[in-house]
């Protein structure tokens, strides 16, 4: 056998070893890509569950099915909490505080299933604390003072207009809780604009504004006599806003210095 034939035999003998080698250089990249894809799909599935729960909730309220409405509400609210977890809320300081706001919102939603004034106050308190959590998260992420001052006058003008609109309808014992809540949610919107000025994702501003608009529908339904059920618009705005804030965790991970880097699993560990 000549040198060329020996080389061919050597090549054929070595190919099986290369094929089944445990040190393929691209294996870790394939593993990481697969893990990221699974996380993205999980987050999208949870967002879809939140949207579906919202649709069922609106339909159940229109059909006067309170048990189905309560189950759909808690399902949709649980979905936006899990969405934040799935995109890495536990891996950064910003994400952890936003997650706290989402959890407090979950409790607010649960309390507002009740119809008495006591349950309303509990729900109002939970959402007030949720907005304080959001303000804390936004400030820690970074805000631009110029944007805060630019948003201050229009947002406060709207807040004063809302309070003047509600004043004839709100019972005296609820006036100060409503005023306090209006002040805190207005501060949340103002600081959200501040984050945008500092270069943060627009999801924060969008989420804050949608939340604010949804609360106007809640106030109209709770205290006034609107010509149509305002939750038809308010609930989709609310859940869309919460999902925006949940997804802002992933979009803000590169801006948060407290972000904990993910550890990539070694090849073959899954």
pLDDT digits (tens, 9 = 90+) for 150-189: 999 999 999 999 999 999 999 999 999 999 999 999 999 9
pLDDT band for 35, please (50, 70, 90 cuts): low
**Residues 242 and 102: beta-carbon distance below 8 Å:** yes
> How far is it, in rounded angstroms, from Cα 168 to Cα 106?
30
What are the tens digits of pLDDT across the range 56-77? 999 999 999 999 999 999 999 9
Phi first, then psi: give them for residue 89, nearest 5 degrees: -65, -25
Give the residue carrying structure tokens 């989420």.
Answer: 207
Per-residue b or e along 94-116, where b marks 16 or more CB atoms closer than 10 Å to that residue's CB: bbbbbbbbbbbbbbbbbbbeeee
Instruction: Give Cα 238 distance to the centre of its chain.
Output: 10
């Amino acid at each position: 056998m000549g040198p060329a034939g020996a080389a061919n035999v050597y090549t054929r003998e070595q190919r099986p070893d290369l094929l089944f080698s445990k040190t393929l250089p691209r294996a870790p990249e394939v593993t990481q890509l697969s893990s990221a894809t699974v996380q993205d799909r999980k987050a999208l599935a949870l967002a879809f569950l939140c949207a579906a729960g919202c649709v069922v909730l609106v339909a159940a309220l229109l059909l006067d099915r309170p048990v189905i409405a309560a189950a759909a509400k808690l399902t949709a609210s649980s979905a936006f909490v899990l969405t934040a977890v799935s995109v890495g809320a536990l891996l950064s300081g910003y994400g952890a505080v936003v997650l706290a706001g989402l959890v407090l919102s979950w409790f607010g939603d649960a309390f507002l299933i009740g119809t008495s004034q006591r349950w309303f106050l509990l729900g109002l308190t939970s959402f007030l604390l949720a907005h304080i959590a959001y303000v804390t998260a936004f400030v820690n992420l970074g805000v631009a003072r110029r944007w805060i001052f630019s948003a201050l006058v229009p947002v406060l003008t709207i807040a004063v207009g809302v309070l003047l609109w509600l004043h004839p309808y709100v019972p005296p014992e609820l006036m100060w809780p409503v005023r306090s809540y209006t002040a805190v949610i207005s501060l949340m919107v103002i600081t959200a604009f501040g984050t945008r000025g500092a270069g943060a994702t627009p999801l924060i501003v969008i989420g804050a504004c949608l939340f604010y608009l949804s609360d106007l529908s809640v106030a109209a339904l709770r205290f006034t006599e609107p010509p149509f059920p305002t939750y038809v618009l308010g609930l989709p705005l609310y859940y869309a806003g919460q999902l925006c804030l949940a997804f802002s965790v992933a979009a803000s991970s590169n801006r948060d210095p407290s972000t904990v880097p993910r550890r990539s699993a070694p090849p073959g560990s899954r």
